[in-house]
A and B are shown apart, each in its own frame.
Chain A
Amino acid sequence: AQSVTQLGSHVSVSEGALVLLRCNYSSSVPPYLFWYVQYPNQGLQLLLKYTSAATLVKGINGFEAEFKKSETSFHLTKPSAHMSDAAEYFCAVSGGNEKLTFGTGTRLTIIP
């Protein structure tokens, strides 16, 4: 069975500051990990995914995430926050089958 825990349901950062959204996973098999973003009243859009290749994964909009097996983490970062980054962010895990298990989401607010 797989699960993810997103620490912090709300995160606020100043424009231009570092964005760090935390995700820890639990998986009985080698995991595949994803970050999705949901803008208000829209569907989910894939930011990036880890599929057992490089542990540092680069995604769209300047986001990246690092897979750390020893810490069972897959935190999402962006060096400099932009107002347009304000959204809900979801971490998700798959054990290699079709089932994605999502975390509870982190709402990112950007302070001008």
Chain B
Amino acid sequence: DTAVSQTPKYLVTQMGNDKSIKCEQNLGHDTMYWYKQDSKKFLKIMFSYNNKELIINETVPNRFSPKSPDKAHLNLHINSLELGDSAVYFCASSQVVAGGPVWTQYFGPGTRLLVL
């Protein structure tokens, strides 16, 4: 059973297009994240949602818009794609335990986006 899944796995598109990446987790977690990994493998958080509410929004262009229809899904929509958006996008999820140890984030397999 896949814990955190992403679709599509690969995405090749032209500059200026709009595209979406979907993420689903079946772990029952209440928090989900989007990360961007650039060509040098550097990973940086973009967004985090807890129970469908945005809790982390790093300095990301407003062309990127996350949407969480329910706590098991967090989709990423990107408008007007640019060359610099080419990267691997990872979804992750975790469960916050009140008063407990810090949570572990579980990652999806990634979506490799190439903008031409």
Which residues of chain A have a CB within 8 Å of any CB of chain B? 32, 34, 36, 38, 41-46, 49, 51-53, 88, 90, 94, 96, 98-102, 104-105
Q: Which residues of B contact A99 (CB under 8 A)?
A: 45, 48, 56
- A42 in contact with B109 given A51-B101, A98-B94 (CB within 8 Å): yes
Q: Are B105 and A100 in contact (CB under 8 A)?
A: yes
Q: Interface on chain B toward A: helix, strand, loop, or mixed SS?
A: strand
Contact of A100 among B45, B96, B110 (CB under 8 A): B45
Total of A-B residue pairs, C-beta within 8 Å? 56
Q: For chain B residues 29-71, which have a beta carbon within 8 Å of chain A?
A: 31, 33, 40-45, 48, 50, 55-56
Query: What's the Cα separation between A102 and B94 when bound, in Å?
Result: 16
Are A105 and B42 closer than 8 Å at their CB atoms?
Answer: yes
Contact of B40 among A51, A53, A94, A104 (CB under 8 A): A104
Chain B interface residues (CB < 8 Å from chain A):
4, 31, 33, 40-45, 48, 50, 55-56, 90, 92, 94, 96, 101-110
**Contact present for B40 and A43 (CB under 8 Å):** no
Closest CB-CB distance, A90 to chain B, in whole Å? 7
Interface centre among A43, A46, A51 (most CB of B within 10 A): A43
Q: How far is the CA of A101 from the CA of B50 in the complex (A)?
A: 18
Cross-chain contact A32 with B102 (CB below 8 angstroms): yes
Q: Which residue of B lies closest to A38 (CB)?
A: B41
Q: Pick the residue among B42, B55, B101, B108 that contacts A98 (CB under 8 A).
A: B55
Contacts of A88 in B (CB 8 A): 41
